[in-house]
């Protein structure tokens, strides 16, 4: 999920998927007998291990279906996926996120799943707000692979050493000023930064906007914030950077959302804002001495939401679409699959499976379940799918923030550039 390749991946996406639209025909299972599916995703080793275990169980129960699996980091995943899909050699079942679902659906790559709902694809135990996250123009093109919300992952050792308290109990919260004060105390101790600079990711800006009764994108797919909004957000973080409350530019520029490059995992920071769906990866890479806390907010609205961390979709051109739907249904709804997958993509989307998994969870999965339970009063409804063009907005947001932290451009000018580029990418 390297930063340079991520930009290349975003650039490839529209061009290659445009070519794909001309190739997209109706797929379906061809003939009888054994079939072979390709199932691809991105993620860390922890996610890969449990996903492969679930696939093996599916194959054991369905000996006539063979499943070839493939995974990689985020950037490499979308570079390869875009190329394969454009060349007519795409997978049968694939993983997407909020920034790419609209692109792939809009280019006719994905099968509509509505015709399978209530039959081979059971969706009745998946909350409506999660199902909404897989819809584009009212049609179900994907289904949430889990449920997640925003979280601060932290190493309590550094905070205890300086007497800084972090709220973790049900009902506890903190303001941005309290957050900045705690991070500054950790940073002043001189060992690590208080938290990984979170200004690079548009995801966390979306939370801050929600706290201020604004949004990243409007329901019509237009930009929902102003340059002044973004400048205020980046200035708040800049004040923290001056006191080592957030990581230095040389550390922040390496951030790409992957666990292996995480500031907390590499020992550069004492905490990091993320999604709780990645918590199992943090625990696996760092060790068990991690805790989870809510994102700060100055108002009653936490900005945290119940979101699909990733979604599964079936390729429109799959020659074995029914078999792919059968695998999808298994991953979403089967109790044994839920037990094997745990919280590797957030808590299970099926409410019955989620209750079972959380009741018997241990270690990292238990930490995620406990966190979701503790913060349930702060977790609001999903924000909604991002519009076509949002992958480019996300790329440009991160690239421009690099210019800010290395003092190549002022905050106000950078924020204005983000808005201008975003309006172009969104076609507004």
pLDDT of residue 209: 97
Which residue is associated with the tokens 């909404």? Answer: 132
Angle at the Cα of 304 (from 419 to 357), degrees rounded to 5?
135
**Ordered alpha helix ranges (H), 87-201:** 98-106, 128-132, 156-161, 176-188
Structure tokens at 39: 């199932």
Which residue is associated with the tokens 């190549």? Answer: 408
Which residue is associated with the tokens 């204005």? Answer: 416
Q: How far is CA 421 from the centre of its chain?
A: 23
Confidence of residue 103 (pLDDT cuts 50, 70, 90): confident
- Environment class of 221 (CB within 10 Å of its CB; exposed 0-12, middle 13-18, buried 19+): middle
Q: How far is residue 142's CA from residue 15's CA, in Å, rounded to a whole number?
A: 22
Angle at the Cα of 333 (from 330 to 336), degrees rounded to 5?
75
From 69, 76, 65, select the one nearest 40 (Cα to Cα): 69
Please state, rounded to an integer, the average pLDDT across all residues of the chain: 91
Q: How far is residue 141's CA from residue 127's CA, in Å, rounded to a whole number?
A: 16
Adjacent-strand bridge partners of 117: 121
pLDDT tens sequence across 334-384: 999 999 999 999 999 999 999 999 999 988 999 999 999 999 999 988 887
The pTM assigned to this predicted structure is 0.84
pLDDT of residue 129: 82
Confidence of residue 32 (pLDDT cuts 50, 70, 90): low
Q: How far is residue 148's CA from residue 143's CA, in Å, rounded to a whole number?
A: 14
CA distances from 258 to 44, 138, 263, 391 (A): 8, 31, 10, 17
From 190, 243, 206, select the one nearest 393 (Cα to Cα): 206
Q: Are strands 150-154 and 291-293 parallel, antiparallel or unpaired?
A: antiparallel
| Percentage of the chain modeled with pLDDT above 90 | 77
Confidence of residue 99 (pLDDT cuts 50, 70, 90): confident
Least confident segment among 10-24, 274-288, 297-311: 10-24
Q: How many CB atoms lie within 10 A of CB 186?
A: 25
Q: How far is residue 393's CA from residue 423's CA, in Å, rounded to a whole number?
A: 9
Terminal CA-CA length for the chain: 29
State mean pLDDT over 255-274. Answer: 94
- Environment class of 73 (CB within 10 Å of its CB; exposed 0-12, middle 13-18, buried 19+): buried
Report whether pLDDT(158) > 50: yes
Task: Report whether 313 contacts 111 (CB < 8 A).
Answer: yes
Half-sphere CA count of 370, side-chain side, radius 13 A: 15
Structure tokens at 292: 């989870």
The answer for residues whose C-beta is within 8 angstroms of residue 169's C-beta and 6 or more apart is 374
Report whether pLDDT(3) > 60: no
């Amino acid at each position: 999920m390297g930063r340079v390749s991520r930009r290349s991946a975003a650039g490839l996406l529209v061009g290659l998927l445009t070519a794909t639209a001309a190739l997209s025909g109706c797929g379906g299972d061809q003939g009888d007998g054994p079939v072979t599916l390709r199932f691809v995703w991105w993620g860390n080793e922890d996610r890969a291990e449990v996903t492969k275990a679930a696939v093996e169980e599916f194959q054991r129960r369905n000996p006539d279906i063979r499943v070839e699996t493939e995974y990689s980091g985020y950037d490499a995943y979308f570079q390869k996926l875009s190329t394969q899909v454009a060349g007519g050699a795409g997978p049968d079942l694939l993983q997407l996120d909020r920034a790419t679902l609209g692109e792939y659906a809009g280019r006719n790559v994905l099968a509509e799943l509505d015709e399978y709902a209530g039959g081979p694809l059971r969706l009745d135990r998946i909350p409506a707000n999660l199902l909404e996250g897989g819809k584009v123009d009212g049609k179900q093109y994907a289904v949430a692979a889990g449920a997640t919300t925003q979280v601060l992952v932290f190493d309590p050792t550094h905070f205890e050493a300086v007497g800084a308290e972090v709220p973790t109990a049900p009902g506890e919260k903190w303001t941005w000023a309290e957050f900045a004060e705690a991070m500054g105390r950790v940073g002043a101790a001189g060992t690590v930064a208080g938290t990984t600079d979170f200004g690079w990711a548009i995801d966390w800006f979306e939370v801050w906007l929600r706290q201020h009764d604004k949004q990243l994108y409007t329901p019509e797919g237009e930009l929902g914030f102003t340059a002044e909004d973004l400048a205020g957000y980046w200035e708040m973080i800049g004040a923290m950077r001056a006191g080592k409350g957030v990581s230095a530019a040389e550390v922040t520029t390496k951030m790409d959302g992957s666990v292996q490059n995480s500031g907390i995992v590499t020992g550069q920071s004492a905490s990091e804002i993320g999604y709780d769906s990645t918590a199992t990866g943090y625990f696996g890479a760092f060790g068990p001495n991690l805790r989870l806390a809510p994102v700060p907010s100055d108002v009653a609205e936490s900005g945290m939401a119940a979101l699909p961390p990733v979604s599964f979709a079936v390729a429109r051109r799959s020659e074995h679409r029914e078999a792919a739907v059968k695998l999808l249904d298994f991953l979403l709804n089967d109790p044994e699959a839920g037990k094997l997958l745990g919280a590797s993509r957030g808590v299970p989307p099926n409410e019955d499976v989620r209750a079972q998994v959380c009741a018997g969870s241990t270690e990292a999965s238990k930490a995620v379940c406990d966190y979701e339970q503790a913060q349930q009063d702060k977790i609001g409804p999903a924000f909604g799918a991002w519009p076509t063009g949002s992958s480019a907005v996300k790329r440009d947001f991160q690239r421009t923030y690099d210019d800010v932290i290395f003092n190549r451009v002022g905050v106000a000018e950078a924020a204005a550039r983000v808005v201008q580029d975003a309006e172009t990418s969104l076609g507004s």
